[in-house]
Chain A
Amino acid sequence: MITYSLETFNLSHRYAGRQQALDNVGLRVPQGSIYGFLGPNGAGKTTTLRLLLGLLRKQEGQIHFFGKPFEKHRTDMLRRVGSLIETPSVYGHLSATENLLVYQKICRCPRQRIDEVLGATGLGNTNRKKAGHFSLGMKQRLALSIALLNDPKLLILDEPTNGLDPAGIIAMRELLQSLNWRLGITIILSSHLLSEVDKVATHVGVISKGRIVFQGTISELRQLSSGDLEETFIQLTEK
């Protein structure tokens, strides 16, 4: 029997005065998977992820993390989840270590975790340099360090390769795979780039106009595509 780290049931959302942003979204993210959450710009990826984390007030549907309803166990669930939503959230006037200290105090994780995550994301030598002086790629890696700090069981990453150079994208991909393989962390990775998801994901969910139009393993998507993955993606999202 498959155990799901995350499930949503009939998740719907409408922004005031605008059309339906999400329509009965039912995500099923198997434990231990790298779940590529794909869709064109404006399809509803970020809205879904923000709803999952409680950053948007839920209107309809259910969200379950590790088999438990998120609303009732919000604090406990967030203790087991790391996230990076859209642009990196870092305090520009603090160094990388100080940024992590801010969250280490709340998460109550050991102080040595700061050095571990900084080392893992390649920011171990930034010393006292303020995060405001970091490049976008460095900020993105610092944001990932923050997401990893509490040793999460589930990582929710919204377009984590945004702003990274090609070497940074490869490094990020390798890091995510290593986290998944070595530590068994389930990863939800949203992207509008099929090629990016194709290289790392074990499972895929495709969203278009607020509706899930495909969900399954990456091999199931490949079978559906009979070779040309991009063509299938375009067909799915233009339905």
Chain B
Amino acid sequence: MSIFVQSLSSEWLKRKRTAGAWLVVIGGFFIPALILFARVYESGGLAEANRNPRLWEIQYDRCWQFMGFFLLPIGVILATSLVTQLEFRNNTWKQLHTTPQPLRVIFFAKLTVVLVMLIQWFVLFNIGIYLTGVLPCLFFRHVPWPSESFPLRLFWEGSWKFFLDALPIVALQYLVSLQWKNFLAPLGIGFGLYVASVVAVHWRYGYWVPYTYCYYEFLGKRSPVREPIHGWAIGYFVLFTVVAYILYISKKEKG
């Protein structure tokens, strides 16, 4: 266990100052920043909006509207590929594979870093949504503090569901990024599958496509699918992770 923690700490350090790390910060705050800008721009109705007991529900829906079906899947595709491809870009696989740690530790430490970054994304996003509600009160005297307290539990439950929905994307992007040296390959496959998922989402068997679950989550009760999408998402995640691991350890050339 301790070697895993050390490996994880090492992998976490590697993502420092990378595009993937910045993407998480920017991606997490991007939509809330736009919503905040829109609220401030239309500051006339701000006081009324903040008195509304459904303020947080409205902010949640507005933010997730863009995040759920577009920015989250695209961000996950990009961030997973960027983090995983770090070794190819720096030509460091050969050095990493000669460090005294089992290959399975390297594999799972890298995957854990991607998952932690995804959690980080959700944390920042939720902080961002909170700020869309409270920041205007600090800048405009006439705007009251939101009448309802922040429904933390509901927000985390929502984020948790989207987290589960994003897992197949993480695992498949991880698999592809470990196999191809060319950065365009995982990106091409990721974007291709995302487009396929947008097309397939209204098909009755759309849930077979592993990139559709964020979209279904976003549709909520309007979703045409009644299947247990979280079960499918976890199933795909396990399947892709196992395949990625087998392909990784059986590679003939390791850098």
Q: Which residues of A are in contact with B by a Cβ distance under 8 Å? A: 50, 53-57, 74-76, 78-79, 81, 83, 85-87, 89-94, 98, 101-103, 105-108, 143, 146, 150
Contacts and interface: CB of A to CB of B under 8 A. Distances in A.
Given A50-B94, A94-B14, 19 more contacts: A53-B98, A54-B98, A56-B254, A57-B252, A78-B99, A78-B100, A79-B100, A86-B94, A87-B91, A90-B92, A93-B16, A93-B18, A98-B16, A102-B13, A103-B95, A105-B9, A105-B13, A106-B3, A146-B95
A56 B253 CA distance: 5
A90 B87 CA distance: 9
B253 A55 contact: yes
Contacts of A87: 91
Interface residues of B, number: 30
B86 interface: yes
Which DSSP category, helix, strand, loop or mixed, fits chain A's interface? mixed
A10 B18 CA distance: 44
B100 A76 contact: yes
Nearest to A59: B252
Given A55-B253, A57-B252, A103 B99 contact: yes
> Nearest 10 pairs between A and B by C-beta?
A89-B95, A79-B100, A105-B10, A78-B100, A89-B92, A57-B252, A53-B98, A106-B99, A75-B100, A105-B6
A74 B251 CA distance: 17
B98 A78 contact: yes
Contacts of A55: 94, 97-98, 253-255
Interface string B77-114: 00000000010011111111111111000000000000
Contacts of A81: 98
Interface centre among A78, A98, A105 (most CB of B within 10 A): A105
